[in-house]
Amino acid sequence: MHLDLTGKTAVVTGSSQGIGLAIAAGLARSGARVAVNGRDAGKVDAAVGQIRHGAPGADVLGVAADLATDEGTAELVDRLPDIDILVNNLGIFGAQEPLEITDAEWRRYFEVNVLTAVRLTRAYLPGMTDRGWGRIQYIASDSAFAVPAEMIHYGMSKTALLAVSRGFAKAAAGSGVTVNTVVAGPTHTGGVEDFVYQLVDRSLPWDEAQREFMRVHRPQSLLQRLIEPDEIAAMVVYLSSVQASATTGAAVRVDGGYVDSIAP
């Protein structure tokens, strides 16, 4: 299957590292013009350089802006008023005792993980529907279904994205615009190796260490290893393509079988 996104412009929020960076690189390799976003201008520039190195000739630009604010969103939309693909990847996470999560923290998780995506969808969906083509995606997590006791606020925000995605898919019905959520499972991102080695024998080679970690601490996974960011990106690139034109309003799992359900 040849996924050709030539002529399409994509924005990937929170894409200066991790899953977002892999998604931006995957879209660029498929021919899309890609905007890399993050709050730190230095990290954004480094990510743009990394993508260009891996995909010579790729059309990549950086937008250093805090999209969790109205001002940051306005800056992005001013620079890129018309786009074809929006990937709402920006998110924060962290462990906290359930009864110690303050009202301010609940609001912060909702503001960053949910409302940022809603604000950008509101900004870009009308133009997509007017042009009769577009792709909007939200990056959720297995935590949307299996809410971790130590990260209830994070799980809440990812569950909310499922409703947001389904609702906006209905708003875009019949327009040629698809709206979907990608449900990512336990993924090999920055800092994860240190976390794994806190829980398993440090003398084990990485491949063995991660499998031992998954076997003991994430036994729900059928993949029995961490997912690589490029594997998440592959699904996003597919859903961004013309080949995925009949997939909308869906929660598509790239979770390694982590969520114990036969439903999508």
**Cβ-based neighbours of 85, under 8 Å, separated by 6 or more:** 5, 8, 9, 10, 11, 27, 32, 134, 135, 136, 137, 240
Question: Known catalytic residue: 154?
Answer: yes
Give the orientation angle of helix 152-171 with respect to helix 116-131, to 10 degrees: 20
Task: List the 177-184 sheet strands across, edge first.
Answer: 60-64, 33-38, 9-12, 85-88, 134-141, 177-184, 251-254
Active-site residue, selected from the candidate residues 109, 154, 238, 258: 154
Terminal CA-to-CA distance of the chain, rounded, Å? Answer: 22
Can you read off the two tokens belonging to residue 123?
Answer: 């900004």
Considering only CA atoms, which of 87, 24, 16 is closest in space to residue 47? Answer: 16
Taking the CA atoms of 109, 239, 180 and 8 in sequence, report the sign of the dihedral they define: positive
Alpha helix (H) residue ranges in the chain: 18-29, 41-54, 70-79, 103-110, 116-131, 152-171, 192-199, 206-217, 229-239
Would you please indicate which residues are annotated as catalytic (active-site) residues?
154
